[in-house]
Structure 1
Amino acid sequence: MLLAAGVTLVAEAAYQDQLWRTGLEPLTKIADLRIIRCTTPTPTIIERMTERADSDRHRAAHGDRQLLTDIAVGTSSPEEFVDISLDAPTLLVDTSDGYQPGTAEIGAFIRAH
């Protein structure tokens, strides 16, 4: 609805291909879609998930505790994540320590036509 009305927006999620591609694909007809894929090493992912689970009660809805347990016992792994596969410009951003590339480059990527 917002895109059809010409509104510029940012949609943030862990866009796993199997869950999101079919829902987002139709939007490529009405949106100048850009994908920013944030990455960091697995130990950093686990550290951040643990910190959020310990400090943010709203994260309970995301099942972080169970996912951390699954990772610890080897039944799940962040490496199993499958990136969204849409035909859209994509920028890979390493978030290990700040943003690489930086915010100026990310902004330029977003504004590029």
Structure 2
Amino acid sequence: MVLPTLVVVSGPAGGYGKTTLAHEIARAVGCPAICRDEIKEGMVHANPGFEPGPGDALTQRTLPTFFAVLELLLRAGTTVVAEAAFQDRLWRPGLEPLVRLARVRIIRCTVDPDTARARNLQRLAANPVRKAAHTPPRATGRRDGAFDPISLAVPTLLVDTTAGYDPRLPDIDVRQRF
């Protein structure tokens, strides 16, 4: 049996194009995209009056739910695209067990910082559920450049999302080695 592929789309939080790229790759491959923020946003609907904050209760529930969904799909033999910020210290422990279940490929999004800020502001203004679910970036105490990328020994590709995708989407072959 050939293992399914787990495409991990990562990068710093806020406006880096991770979710958009994850959904585009999933459509191109023909598989589901599982996005951490979308799981948390779904939880907000069942928690009226929720107030986001660093390490809030929904954030704590989202992480194990995210990895449980990925494991379930991979054990069923499903190729899947997983999207989140994927800071190494927080996310590597959840990803390491999945290496036995799938061929893992990491895509790390990069973008011009001004573009990221503009995208993030636009997203928050356009989606009230997103705004209700997530702590504003400045409230987390994170600084630009504080991102610690995943350090798994698997094929990794940098994709600049500033103006489209570089490399272009058709050139990102997640089934092969990057």
Give the TM-score taking structure 1 as reference length: 0.84
In structure 1, what residue type is equivalent to 2:175?
R
Shift of residue 111, structure 1, vs aligned partner: 1.5
Aligned counterpart in structure 1 of residue 167 of structure 2, from 94, 97, 101: 101
Aligned residues: 105
In structure 2, what residue type is equivalent to 1:92?
L
In structure 2, what residue type is equivalent to 1:55?
A
Give the TM-score taking structure 2 as reference length: 0.55
Shift of residue 103, structure 1, vs aligned partner: 0.7
Aligned counterpart in structure 2 of residue 6 of structure 1, from 44, 66, 77: 77
Q: Which runs of 4+ in 1 moved over 4 A?
A: none
Structure 2 partner of 1:28? 99
Structure 2 partner of 1:112? 176
Give me the whole-angstrom Cα distance separating, in 2, the residues matched to 1:18 and 1:9. Answer: 22
Counterpart secondary structure, 1:35: strand
The runs of 5 or more residues in structure 2 that have no matched partner are 1-71
Structure 1 partner of 2:146? 80
RMSD of aligned residue pairs (Cα, Å): 1.6
Give me the whole-angstrom Cα distance separating, in 2, the residues matched to 1:79 and 1:89. Answer: 23
Structure 2 partner of 1:40? 111
Aligned counterpart in structure 1 of residue 134 of structure 2, from 52, 57, 62: 62
The runs of 5 or more residues in structure 1 that have no matched partner are none
> Deviations 1:66-90 (Å, cap 9, x if unpaired)?
31x459xxx5323101111111111
